[in-house]
Amino acid sequence: MSFPILSSILLAPVLGVLIILFIPQKEDKVIKIVAALATGLTVILSLIAYAYYDQSIGGLQFVEHIPWIDELGVAYGLGVDGISLPLVLLTAIVIFTGVFASWGLEKRVKEFFIFLLALVAGVFGVFLTTDLFFFYLFFEIAVIPMYILIGVWGSTNKEYSAMKLTIYLLVGSAFALIVIIAVYLYTGLGTFDIQTLTQQTYDIGFQKFAFLLLMVGFGFLVPMWPLHTWSPDGHVAAPTAVSMLHAGVLMKLGGYGLIRAGIFIFPEGAKFWAPVIAILCIVNVVYGAMVAMAQKDLKFVIGYSSVSHMGYVLLGVASLNTLSISGAVAQMFAHGIMTALFFALVGNVYNKAHTRMIADFGGLAHQMPRIAAGFVIAGLASLGLPGLVNFVAEFAIFVGSFRVYPVLTILAISGIVITAVYVLRVVQNVFFGPRNPKWDGLEDVRGIELVPIVILCGVLLFLGFFPSLLMELINNGVDPFVQQYLTTPKVGGMF
C-alpha cells in the first residue's frame, strides 16, 4: 500500500493538538510555531495530492479503506476526486494563513490552538471521507470547538452568537442524519459508502423526501435564505482565524454536501427541488447584497457578502449541469480564499484600531497602504473582476445557469452590480479620502502579519491568470457524475 497521504492530512492537525497539549501555557511562541508547522504540513500534503492526482484516470484516488464498525458496516474510507481535492486545498490554505492571522493572540493561547486544530481536523475529515457516517461524524466534530472558540475569544455579542451558530448547525446536520440513516436502511446493503450509494437507484418518492431533508439540512450550513441568520452573527462574533475558517471553509461543507450527497445520490429528487433552491438563492444574492450595503460594521458587510456569494454557489448547484456545478465548486474555492482574505484584513484593522465601524475610518490608505491594497484586491475579487479567480467561477455558473433559468440568472447578475456598490463604498469610506490624523499612530501590517495577506492575494491572482489549473480538475470530478446521473437536465425551469 502506498503512503496514506490523506490520512496524514487528517492527522496532521490532530498531531498538532497532541503536541500542544504538552506544551506549557506560557510558552505561547512554541505553541504557535507547532500550530503553523502542523497546518503547513497539511498545505504541503494537499499540494502533493494535487500534483499526483491523475486527471487522466479521474474518480476517487488515494483511496484508503479500513472496516470500522462491523455491526453497522461503517468503514473508515478516505479518497479525493476533482470536487473534494480543491476544497481540501482550500481548507489547508485558509487554516495555514489563519494561524498566522492569530499570531498576535495573547489570551489563553494554548486552548485556542487546541480547539482551532481540532476544528480543522473535522473540516478536513468531511472533505476527505468517502463514508456518509464519517461525513456526519467529522462535521459534528467541527461544530463544538467553534462554539468555544467564538464564545471565549470572540467579540460583539459572542455568547449569543456562539450558541445560535451551534444550534443552527446541529439542527441542520440533524436533517442530514435522518437521510443518512434512511438511505442506509433503504438500500439494505449495510454500507455507508458514498460511491456505492450513488450507484443505487431509488424510487422517486424517496428521492424527493431525502433531497428535501438534505436541502433544508445543508441549507442551514450554506446558508440558504431564510436559514442564514446565524451566519453574519457568527462571522462577526468569531475571532479572526475562526471567521476565516468559518466563512472560508465551513459554509462550503453545505455546498459540498448538497452536491456530493444530494445531487449525485438523489438526482431525481434534485431535479424536483432545484427550482426551489434557484428561487431562494436569488433572494440570497440580492437580499444579502442589499443588507450588506446597509451595514455599519465592516465584519457585518463581509458576513452578508458571504451570504450573497454563497447564493451563486446555490444557483450553480440548482442548475444541474456540468458547467454550473463546476462553477459552483470553483466559486466555493474562490469565495473561500477571498473571504478569508477579507477577514484577515479586517482582523488586522480591528487589532490596531479597536473599532470596525466604517464611519470611524477614512483615508486609512495613508497609514496602511498594504492593508488597503489587500482590501482592494479582495474587493475586486468580490465583484468578479476578470483576472481574479472569482470571475472564472462566477462566469461558469452564469453560463451554466442561463440555459436553465435565464430570468433568475439575470437577477443574479444584477447582484454583482449591488456588490460593486457596497464593496466600492467600503473601500472608499474606509481607505480613501483625506488623511485622518486620528489614525496616524497606526502601523501598517509587516513581518509575520503579512503572511496571510500575501498568500491569499497570491492564490487569487495566480489562479485568476491560470484558471485551468483549477477548472480542469473540478470539471474532471463533476463531469462523469453529471453525464451518468443528470444526462437529460431538465431544461426550462420555472420561468
Partner 1 sequence: MAINFSLIIPEMLVAGLGLLVMIISLLVPKDQKKGLAYFTVFGLIGVLVVLYFMIDAQGTLFNGMYIVDPFGSFMKILIVLSSIMAIILGVEYVEKFITGFLGEFCFFVVFATLGMITLVSAGDFITLYVALELMTISFIILVGFGKNIFRASEAAIKYLLLSALSSGVLLYGLTLVYGAAKTTSINGVMEYIAQGETAPILVLGIIFLISGFGFKISAVPFHMWTPDVYEGAPTPVTALLSVASKGAAFGVLLRVFMHALPGNQELWMPIIVVLTVLTIVLGNFVAIPQKNIKRMLAFSGVAQAGYILLGLIAFSTVGVSAALFYAMIYVFCNMGAFGVIIAFSQAGGGDEVQDYNGLWKRSPFLAAVMLASLLSLAGIPPLAGFVGKFQLFRAIMEQGYVWLVFVALGMSMVSVYYYLLVAKAMYFKDPHEDSQIKVNLPIQITLLAITLITLFLGIYPTPLTNLATQVAKTFF
Residue (of 280, 318, 284, 279) closest to 303 by Cα position = 284
Site residues for partner 1, 339-358, by CB under 8 A, read none
First to last CA, the chain: 53
Least separation in angstroms between residue 74's CB and partner 1 is 9
d(CA 172, CA 167): 8
- The pair phi, psi for residue 78, each rounded to 5°, is -125, 150
**Under the criterion CB under 8 A, does residue 68 sit at the interface with partner 1?**
yes
Does residue 178 interact with partner 1 by CB under 8 A?
A: yes
What is the size of the binding site for partner 1 (CB under 8 A)?
31
Q: Name 297's bridge partners.
A: 357
Residue 299 amino acid letter? K
The answer to whether the beta carbons of residues 284 and 228 sit under 8 Å apart is yes
Per the listing, cell 463546476 goes with 326
**189 makes contact with partner 1 (CB under 8 A):** no
CA distances to 51, 55, 63, 106 from 60, rounded to whole Å, are 15, 10, 7, 42
- Compare residues 136 and 391 and give the one whose CB is closer to partner 1: 136
Q: Is 111 in the site for partner 1 (CB under 8 A)?
A: yes
Contact flag: residue 143 with partner 1 (CB under 8 A): yes
**Out of 72, 189, 407, 469, the residue judged to bind partner 1 by CB under 8 A:** 72
Judged by CB under 8 A, does residue 15 bind partner 1?
no
Q: Which is nearer to partner 1, 76 or 272 (CB)?
A: 76
CB nearer to partner 1: give 163 or 420. 163
Of residues 138 and 287, the one with the C-beta less far from partner 1: 138
Question: According to CB under 8 A, which one of 133, 343, 361, 391 is a site residue for partner 1?
Answer: 133
- Cell 469610506 locates to 429
> What DSSP designation does 258 have?
I
Stretch that binds partner 1, among 93-101, 161-169, 329-337, 377-385 (CB under 8 A): 161-169
Q: Are 360 and 350 within 8 A, CB to CB?
A: no
By CB under 8 A, tell whether 427 contacts partner 1: no
Closer CB to partner 1, 138 or 300, in the complex: 138
Question: In this chain, which of 47, 69, 294, 407 binds partner 1, going by CB under 8 A?
Answer: 69
Per DSSP, the three-state class of 428 is helix
CA triple 314-319-322, angle to 5 deg: 105
Single-letter amino acid, residue 412: A
Of 166, 305, 321, 390, the one binding partner 1 (CB under 8 A) is 166
Q: Give the relative orientation of helices 28-52 and 5-21 as an angle to the nearest 10 degrees.
A: 180
State the Cα–Cα distance between residues 486 and 209, nearest whole angstrom.
18
Find the binder of partner 1 among 45, 148, 197, 457 (CB under 8 A).
148
Segment contacting partner 1 (CB under 8 A): 158-166, 302-310, 315-323, 478-486? Answer: 158-166
**Of 77, 39, 101, which Cα lies nearest the Cα of 452?**
101
- Binding partner 1 (rule: CB under 8 A), the pick from 167, 279, 373, 461 is 167
Q: Does 31 bind partner 1 (CB under 8 A)?
A: no
Identify whether the C-beta of residue 132 lies closer than 8 Å to the C-beta of residue 125.
no
Closest distance of CB 141 from partner 1, Å: 6
Q: Does 184 contact partner 1 by CB under 8 A?
A: yes
Instruction: Check residue 165 for interaction with partner 1 (CB under 8 A).
Output: no
Does residue number 70 form part of the binding site for partner 1 (CB under 8 A)?
yes
Selected binder of partner 1 within 144, 276, 442, 454 (CB under 8 A): 144
Segment interacting with partner 1, rule: CB under 8 A, options 43-51, 171-179, 268-276, 424-432: 171-179
Residues 386, 376: Cα–Cα separation, whole Å? 14
The least CB distance from residue 374 to partner 1, in Å, is 32
Q: Can you say whether the dihedral through the CA atoms of 238, 346, 12, 191 is positive or negative?
A: positive
| 19 lies in the binding site for partner 1 (CB under 8 A) | no
Contact call for residue 137 and partner 1 (CB under 8 A): yes
| Phi and psi angles of residue 55, each rounded to the nearest 5 degrees, phi first | -70, -20
Q: Which residue among 62, 127, 136, 391 contacts partner 1 (CB under 8 A)?
A: 136
Of positions 18, 33, 182, 454, contacts partner 1 by CB under 8 A: 182
Q: How far is the CB of 268 from partner 1 (least distance, A)?
A: 20
Segment near partner 1 (CB under 8 A); pick from 44-52, 175-183, 193-201, 272-280: 175-183
Nearer to partner 1, 147 or 439 (CB): 147
Nearest to 461 by CA among 396, 365, 373: 373
Closest Cα partner for 168 from 228, 258, 123? 228
Min dist. Cβ of residue 73 to partner 1 (A): 11
Calculate the CA dihedral of residues 146, 261, 459, 301 and round it to 10 degrees: -50
In the complex with partner 1, the residue whose CB is nearer, 142 or 344, is 142
Residue numbers of the site for partner 1 (CB under 8 A)? Answer: 68-72, 111, 133, 136-138, 140-141, 143-144, 147-148, 151-152, 159, 163, 166-167, 170-171, 174, 177-178, 181-182, 184-185
